[in-house]
Structure 1
Amino acid sequence: MTAYLLNRLAVGAATLLVASLVVFAVLEVLPGDPARLMLGLNATEEAVAALRREMGLDQPLVARYLAWVGGMLTGDFGTSYTYSSPVTELIAERLVVSLPLAVIALALSTAIAIPVGIFAAARRGRAGDTLAMGAAQIGVAIPNFWFALLLIYVFAVGLRLVPAGGFPGWGEGWSGLWQGLGALVLPAVALALPQAAILARVTRSALLEVLGEDYIRTARAKGLPQRVVLRSHALRNAMIPVLTILGLQFAFLLAGTIIIENVFYLPGLGRLVFQAITQRDLIVVEGVVMLLVASVILVNLAVDLCYALVDPRLRTRRP
Structure 2
Amino acid sequence: MLRAALSRALSLLLSLAVASLVIFLMLQAVPGDPAAFMLGLNAAPDTVAALRAELGLEGGLVARYLDWVGGMLAGDLGTSYTYRVPVAELVAERITVSGPLALYALALTVIIAVPVGLLAASRRGGPADWGVMGATQLGIAIPNFWFGMLLVLVFAVTLRWVPAGGFPGWSDPLAALRSLTLPAVALALPQASILARVLRSALLDTLDRDYIRTARAKGLSRRAVVIRHGLRNAAIPVLTILGLQLSFLIAGVVVIENVFFLPGLGRLIFQGITQRDLIVVQSVTMLLVFTVICVSFLVEIAYAAADPRLRA
- TM-score, normalising length: structure 1: 0.96
* Aligned match of 1:15: 15
* CA distance in structure 1 between the aligned counterparts of 2:250 and 2:94, rounded to whole angstroms: 11
* Equivalent position amino acid for 2:38 in 1: M
* Aligned match of 1:210: 206
**8 Å contact 2:142–2:190 — kept in the other structure?**
yes
Q: State the Cα distance separating 1:305 from its structure 2 match.
A: 1.2
Instruction: Select 1:256's aligned residue among 233, 246, 252.
Output: 252
* Aligned match of 1:70: 70
Instruction: Select 1:277's aligned residue among 253, 273, 295.
Output: 273
* Equivalent position amino acid for 1:32 in 2: G
Q: Per the alignment, in what secondary structure is the counterpart of residue 109 of structure 2?
A: helix
Whether 2:123 is the aligned partner of 1:141: answer no
* CA distance in structure 2 between the aligned counterparts of 1:43 and 1:227, rounded to whole angstroms: 73
* Equivalent position amino acid for 2:225 in 1: V
Instruction: Select 1:196's aligned residue among 188, 192, 209.
Output: 192
Q: State the Cα distance separating 1:179 from its structure 2 match.
A: 1.1
Q: State the Cα distance separating 1:38 from its structure 2 match.
A: 0.6
Residues 190-237 of structure 1, C-alpha deviation per residue, up to 9 Å, x if partnerless? Answer: 111111111101100111111122222222222321111111111101
Whether 2:228 is the aligned partner of 1:232: answer yes
* CA distance in structure 2 between the aligned counterparts of 1:30 and 1:55, rounded to whole angstroms: 17
Whether 2:177 is the aligned partner of 1:181: answer yes
* CA distance in structure 1 between the aligned counterparts of 2:137 and 2:5, rounded to whole angstroms: 37
* Aligned match of 2:35: 35
Alignment of 1:80-99 (within 5 A): 80-99=80-99
Residues 218-261 of structure 1, C-alpha deviation per residue, up to 9 Å, x if partnerless? Answer: 22222321111111111101011101111111122122212211
Q: Per the alignment, in what secondary structure is the counterpart of residue 160 of structure 2?
A: coil
* Aligned match of 1:293: 289
* CA distance in structure 2 between the aligned counterparts of 1:258 and 1:231, rounded to whole angstroms: 36
* Aligned match of 1:267: 263
* CA distance in structure 2 between the aligned counterparts of 1:213 and 1:277, rounded to whole angstroms: 52
* Aligned match of 2:110: 110
Q: State the Cα distance separating 1:313 from its structure 2 match.
A: 1.1
Identical positions, percent: 64
Q: Per the alignment, in what secondary structure is the counterpart of residue 169 of structure 1?
A: coil
Residues 253-302 of structure 1, C-alpha deviation per residue, up to 9 Å, x if partnerless? Answer: 12221221111100011100011011111100111111011101111111
* Equivalent position amino acid for 1:237 in 2: N
* CA distance in structure 2 between the aligned counterparts of 1:225 and 1:180, rounded to whole angstroms: 43
**8 Å contact 2:121–2:204 — kept in the other structure?**
yes
Range that drifts further, 210-219 or 60-69: 210-219
Q: Per the alignment, in what secondary structure is the counterpart of residue 167 of structure 1?
A: coil
**8 Å contact 2:187–2:252 — kept in the other structure?**
no
* Aligned match of 1:312: 308
Q: Per the alignment, in what secondary structure is the counterpart of residue 59 of structure 1?
A: coil
* CA distance in structure 2 between the aligned counterparts of 1:278 and 1:243, rounded to whole angstroms: 36
**Equivalenced residues, count:** 312
* Aligned match of 2:154: 154
Q: Per the alignment, in what secondary structure is the counterpart of residue 151 of structure 2?
A: helix
Following TM superposition, where does structure 1 have runs of at least 4 consecutive aligned residues deviating by more than 3 angstroms?
none
What residue ranges of structure 2 are gaps of 5+ in the alignment?
none
What residue ranges of structure 1 are gaps of 5+ in the alignment?
none
Whether 2:46 is the aligned partner of 1:46: answer yes
* CA distance in structure 2 between the aligned counterparts of 1:183 and 1:17, rounded to whole angstroms: 37
**8 Å contact 2:257–2:266 — kept in the other structure?**
yes
* Aligned match of 2:56: 56
- TM-score, normalising length: structure 2: 0.98
Q: State the Cα distance separating 1:140 from its structure 2 match.
A: 0.4
* CA distance in structure 2 between the aligned counterparts of 1:159 and 1:256, rounded to whole angstroms: 26
